[in-house]
Amino acid sequence: MDVHREDIDISIDTDEVLNVEEEYYQKGFREGQEQSTRQQEMEGKEYGYQTGFQRFLIVGYIDGLVEHWSRNIQTYEASASVANHLKQLEALIKDIPITNGDEEVAHYEKSVAKARNKLRVIATLVKETSKIAKLDELIKEVGGQLQVSENVDDMW
């Protein structure tokens, strides 16, 4: 700290003065550090919520379709084949971890890529490709650009 110790007009116990200065400096420092640490953690949280949300929209969407097709499995031609594909797709998305570690993210990328392919196969098989049409646009619209919010000030 640079509060001109050398300029102090000494007539009382110097150590005591310096101790007081140091003590209050440290007190302030802790408060400042806590404040900025908290602020950064909050920023991290906002970004974490957004990223998690954006990444798992597709997973949930596939899950919804899988449940729908499974419920109506009897109505499809080649239902045995459809059921088999559905089982594989279900297994793929069920195991995707929702944490942000390096391994988990790699797992996510791999599983989602496979799941997308599987999804196309099934949709074609049951002749319902319209249900996965413009899926990327949908994901982008719902999870995408935050700045399009009409009341940006209300967000965090």
Partner 1 sequence: MGCSNCQPEIKTSLHSKDSNDFEDDVWGDDDVYVDANADVKRAHQKQGYLDGLASAQESSLQSGFDKAFSDGARMGAAVGKILGELRALGESESFYQATKELNIAKIMDKKYFDSELKIQKNHEVIYKWQKIVAQHLEDATKA
Residues 109-138 binding partner 1 (CB under 8 A) are 128, 131, 138
CA distance 143 to 29: 39
Counting contacts by CB under 8 A, is residue 142 touching partner 1?
yes
Q: How far is the CB of 28 from partner 1 (least distance, A)?
A: 3
Q: Which helix (H) or strand (E) holds 124?
A: helix 102-125
Give the span between the Cα atoms of 86 and 119, in whole angstroms.
Answer: 9
How far apart are CB 38 and partner 1 at their closest, in Å? 8
Under the binding rule (CB under 8 A), the answer on residue 80 touching partner 1 is no
Q: Are 92 and 111 in contact (CB under 8 A)?
A: yes
Q: What residues numbered 1-60 form the site for partner 1, per CB under 8 A?
A: 1, 3-4, 7-9, 11-12, 17, 20-22, 24-60
Minimum CB distance to partner 1, residue 37 (Å): 5
For the record, the structure tokens of 144 come out as: 């995408």
Is 100 among the residues that bind partner 1 (CB under 8 A)? yes
DSSP 98: -
